[in-house]
Structure 1
Amino acid sequence: MEVNQDYELPCGRELETVWENLDEVDDHQADCVHCRTARESLLALRSATQELIDEPDPTPPDLVGRIMSAVRAEVRRGQMLDLSAAEPGSVEVSEQAVAVVLRYAADSAGNVRARRVRVRKVGVDDSGAAQVEVEVTLATRLGNTSGADTLARVRELVSAAATSRVGISLVSLNLLVEDVYEDGE
């Protein structure tokens, strides 16, 4: 370890000299209060440094779990989609984030609940925006007598959200009704 060579003690001896002779005390160091104080500080520094070397921090017990959570989140996030931008540069959003926006749009149609939303990138349009296929699996409310109108409303809301809220080009939208729910559920 090198000590700053430009530091001179009040007695005229350089700190580097004290460091180099840390284990050998000469007559001057034995009598000089400045050299003794510097030597004690340097011995404490050396001891503390050695403790850090000898006993490194233990691995946190939850380290593997935290790493795996980050990996799982990255996988769930899905593929990144390029969005068209008015300004130069690019904007990306995950398929998962797009699915959340589209699920909210489907749920707002009334008489249905989105169960699953799958977004899959299939290309890029002329503006650079992602082209996607979307599949929405729905549950309809028991007693919904206007099923066709409800599905048309879901299609309208999801399509509008895809283009105006997210900025993606919707190539296809498949709606699948696979469940029924009662108002209390």
Structure 2
Amino acid sequence: MTRADLGADRLPCGASVDSLLEQVADGAPPSDPQHQRDCPHCRAAVHELRGLWEPVRALAAAEVAVPPDLVTKVMLQVRALARDGWHTVIAGPLGSTRIATWVVAALARSAAGRVPGVALTLGRAGPVTAPATGALGTGASPTGRRRRDARGVGVAGANVVIILDVVAAYGHDLNLLGDAVRAAVIRHVQALTGLTVLEVNVTMVDVVEGGATAGTPETF
């Protein structure tokens, strides 16, 4: 199996897993820097791919023979990124646990919504450059509602990237509020899922008059 075999595999945002692997393996710049900067799916996948490809890179630099099945095993794991693009998969000795992206998103919004000073949490829509959903791979494809529920969250392996838009209650230090939201989301998601939260990017999109209590977490 070669990297070219992955050409048809795509993440939920439509990005090619093959292109991301080429970027990681060859040290190439992103083909679409703006998309990758704003896309939680790509950011999580690139981090996961770096970990998957590291054994190949390390052995290629050493004066030893690379095990003949190493690249094949790595490529099978890479292919799984597209197949499980809407789920994180945690393998254990007795089986595996799959956690849907929209479940992670719900946990993140719930944690953010309970932070004093947060009036509303909004799941960030995907980058405007993302291909149409018809370009996705053949993995399990959720309904439109589930896609909306999963906005702002990307998963790859056991790694998660979260993007949240927050409406703040007037009178709060927005920098400190962003830090509090980030800490709450990381703590809550990691405690309930065991996943590794790589990033929580918070954008304050509005300020409203009102009390310091949190509102009901919602999405748009």
TM-score scaled by length of structure 1: 0.49
Higher-RCO chain (CA-CA 8 Å, sequence separation at least 6): 2
